[in-house]
Amino acid sequence: MTTVGIVCAWVLTREFFGWRKFKNRRQVGSLAGLVPTHYQSGETNVEQGISKAGVVQVRQVAIELAWCWLRYQQRSKITIWYNERFAKSGKKARKVGIVAVARKLLVDLWRYLETGVLPEGAILKAG
């Protein structure tokens, strides 16, 4: 867990939060490439998955961090939301859900850096 924490913190600081200013949560999700893409033409309306545009390393680290978040922050609002919506679903649904968790977690971390407000239900551990 320590290695994941150090690597995640380093990547998110150097590639994402360290020198960029975000105006809203949509910019955070978009730069990470964790936003849905829609295709609409006439009567056709198709969801094409996530955009994958943005910083690849941030997206990879965010998804790994999301899995760790579910394991170690079991009382957080994000984990409870994931468990209610995706935990009893199939493998594909859980993978879709983890992308949503990664996006929500990045937005909550951005809010924490901007305002100092912890993600709801998160528990800090010193050291």
- The C-alpha angle with vertex 34 and arms to 30 and 39, in degrees rounded to 5, equals 85
Q: How many domains does the chain have?
A: 1
Range of the domain at 102: 2-115
The widest CA-to-CA distance across the chain, in whole angstroms, is 56
The per-residue pLDDT for 1 is 46
123 occurs within a structural domain: no
CB atoms within 10 A of CB 15: 18
Nearest to 2 by CA among 58, 60, 68: 68
The answer to whether residue 125 is domain-embedded is: no
Kindly tell me the sign of the dihedral angle through the C-alpha atoms of 54, 58, 61, 56: positive
Look up residue 5 and give its two tokens. Answer: 């924490």
* Mean pLDDT computed over 21-42: 80
Instruction: Render pLDDT for 63-112 as a digit per residue (tens, 0 to 9).
Output: 999 999 999 999 999 999 999 999 888 998 898 899 999 999 999 988 88
